[in-house]
Amino acid sequence: MENQALPGIKLFDLSGKAAIITGGSKGLGLAMAEGLASAGANIMIVNRNKEEGEAAAKILVERYGVKAASCATDVTDQAQTEAMAKATMDAFGRIDILINSAGINIRGAIDELSAADFNKVMDVNVNGTWLCSRAVTPQMKAQKDGRIINIASTLGVVGLANRTPYTASKGAVVQMTRALGLELAAFNINVNAICPGPFLTEMNIPIAGTPEAKNFIVGATALARWGELPEIQGAAIFLASPAASYMVGSMLTVDGGWTAK
């Protein structure tokens, strides 16, 4: 679709763009990688398992005909995130898009969880998002163009019992998105977030059949079902594309109507 106000610009075309997707070898991360690849972007899959990353990159090449590579990275390690950015530059010569999708969840009542549990969730979900964003910022500033898309959560804007580490971490991601969006807007770097609701990822499979899921999660959505992984793709393509050029520090909710109630 060509933008009639700006002739020659195809709003959702990512051809030639280079995107990093952390946590990109499975779940929502892989779904978003596929979405961006379907729009023409070249993809760097980032995760901790080398074999899984390579397998995901192979899928993208075979299905979408784009360039794809993988980089085994612990997003909580600054040196490794900087190596991730360098590997992407070596592979594609540029960094246009970062999707911070790597994340973990440890559930439980506050008096049943340990401080180590809390810190582990915060380290991956918050520190990992910050470090990866930090690693790509110099190149995006040099290009005077970029998109950073953080994967927050509906649980970053509403609460749920027995989720203190996760809700705290995603609330932090929401605020980081707003602050970083303001900081980088002058460099033509748009920072926004997607807030997914209940998707049946590997993270949620353990609770899929529980009364809690039936009553307070899936049962609380307007659509009365789990989200299917491809249903996250449109939001990712949109925020990565020229169509979202006037969005800064926004939270795009994809939750089947859960937070509308």
The catalytic site residues sit at: 166
Distance CA 201, CA 219 (A): 17
Which position has the token pair 């079902």? 225
Separation CA 33–CA 43 (nearest Å): 7
Q: Where are the alpha helices (DSSP H) in 65-163?
A: 78-92, 115-122, 128-143
Check if the beta carbon of residue 89 is closer than 8 Å to that of residue 95.
Answer: yes
Q: To which H or E segment does residue 150 belong?
A: strand 146-151
Helix axes 27-38, 50-64, angle to 10 degrees: 30
Phi–psi pair at 253, nearest 5 degrees = -90, 130
> The tokens 């991601």 sit on which residue?
173
Greatest pairwise CA separation for the chain in angstroms: 59
Q: SS3 for 36?
A: helix
Q: How far apart are the C-alpha atoms of 153 and 198, rounded to whole Å?
A: 9
- CA pseudo-torsion sign 121, 48, 74, 196: negative
Query: Which tokens is 60 given?
Result: 């993208």
